[in-house]
Structure 1
């Protein structure tokens, strides 16, 4: 049995159709059908029932596909571990972040680390909503600033930054001139959200449920921060975001107003558990120093300042 065959099984199970699975795998449908028949013969069991609409996994097939997923994930972790060591040997550190990351701390840490390690190339890697932890697990980055909540399974994480949340409103909105608002004051507003992130992440950002037990009015979806802000600016919905995003993505057609009664965003610096990469540990030391980190998180005096974000531009 080959790893390639396990990828085939997963694609067939996901798509429920050999034609779609073949297109996803960039192989011909006859070749995929032949590979599936050979694997079923090798295992001595039928993995999928064929029907007019496609295929459905048998009871045995469900078990085998579940094991295939675990095996493929483990193989990817092996590749990721090797890749991390290769990058360390080559003098490359890949730092992940989402949108505005940990604000100024993100840029300052990369710059200070590069200054102290002149022979190391620091490569920033931006992720879309809620994807930083997966990027660490699959080896796309070595260390990352992760917006919480997040699945930190298999990762070491330290909270290094917090910042308040704000509401992004289109220019001319009825609440645009306010110094601060309660989340309950926007209960009737359509709220931007994404299908790309885990549901727990979406609900935390949306403050779902609200303090009065109500649920948000879900508006349009988006795949990244630029799409979100474009739709807010045109008046399709409002959004919730960290205050730092208001500074880094300031637009004349948007107004940012602080939310006064929701918990702040916490940002963790994370890397794979047991990672023996001196570049990662060196970067973590720089971040701790710049954040004024103590056991349990950043010190209060070095926490982020609450920006002046009304009027469409951060301070």
Structure 2
């Protein structure tokens, strides 16, 4: 058994389901696990009628295994870049519409200032996962929607934009010039289980200005799933204004949302990084943000 396979067992807490995910036979997995525990000299899991739970030693060893796997992936990625003759790759994380036009303009301007051997690779994440991607070394720099956990990261605010309500076309509020969270009444609101509760509540404006809570609608795993359910009439959603431009479709209507904090986006990267590419990208974003119409201390 490879140590990383134990992470699947920890996730599933069931050997049968873990075997299915690993595409190996059910009888082979306990044997492989027993061999690994014998090799390491410690018990990784406690077996019981309900499945298998990681021991204290197991949890620590699994965490170390994950770090090793991620480092191995970074080593392989570095080797691949050199095989292709590239002098550098900058992986830029974002979610949905990112920081609006600033995201695309920054990537284009950064590429213009650097030789062809430097490549900018966009990496999209869903519902607050871009900060975790930075900490795990999956991206080098990211546009992070706030609120978010920026522990272990350096960051600076670069973009602010108002929010909107996404509604199915023909919905009564869709014809209004603006709506507030209280105007939504008992309209079901989309949400996600993939983000921390504080993140979900901020986006949902929960509690509302009068202390009430929204009526929770269906869940979703990404922006496309969210908008598909809004368009079919299952629920409504709150989103940044840039999504109204990035996700235009005839069965959706976007209405400005009042009485709600605007979305603030920060540019973030790993604390202690010494990458010329990251510093160069941050400089480009800083310059473009400062030159944007309406920029100033209240925007930054």
Q: Aligning the two structures, in what range does the TM-score lie when normalised by the shorter sequence?
A: 0.7 to 0.9
Task: Tell whether 2:51 aligns with 1:75.
Answer: no
Q: CA 1:79–1:42 in 2, change beyond 3 Å: closer, same or farther?
A: closer
Aligned to 1:170: 168
Cα deviation, residue 28, structure 1: 3.1
Task: Tell whether 2:91 aligns with 1:94.
Answer: yes
Contact 2:167 2:230 in 1 (8 A): yes
Aligned to 1:25: 22
Contact 1:137 1:272 in 2 (8 A): yes
Aligned to 1:235: 233
Cα deviation, residue 290, structure 1: 0.4
**Uncovered stretches (5+) of structure 2, i.e. residues with no partner:** none
The correspondence of residues 51-130 of structure 1 with structure 2, limited to 5 A, is 51-55=48-52, 57=53, 61-76=54-69, 78-79=71-72, 82=75, 90-119=87-116, 120-130=118-128
Contact 1:168 1:232 in 2 (8 A): yes
TM-score by length of 2: 0.87
Cα deviation, residue 35, structure 1: 2.7
The correspondence of residues 159-308 of structure 1 with structure 2, limited to 5 A, is 159-292=157-290, 299-300=295-296, 303=299
Deviates more, 1:24-33 or 1:217-226: 24-33
Superposed CA RMSD: 2.6
Secondary structure of the residue aligned to 1:300 is coil
Contact 2:42 2:57 in 1 (8 A): no
Q: CA 1:80–1:284 in 2, change beyond 3 Å: closer, same or farther?
A: farther
Deviates more, 1:9-18 or 1:41-50: 41-50
Aligned to 2:132: 134
Q: CA 1:40–1:96 in 2, change beyond 3 Å: closer, same or farther?
A: closer
Cα deviation, residue 49, structure 1: 4.1
Cα deviation, residue 36, structure 1: 2.4
**Uncovered stretches (5+) of structure 1, i.e. residues with no partner:** 305-315
Count of matched residue positions in the alignment of Structure 1 and Structure 2: 293
TM-score by length of 1: 0.83
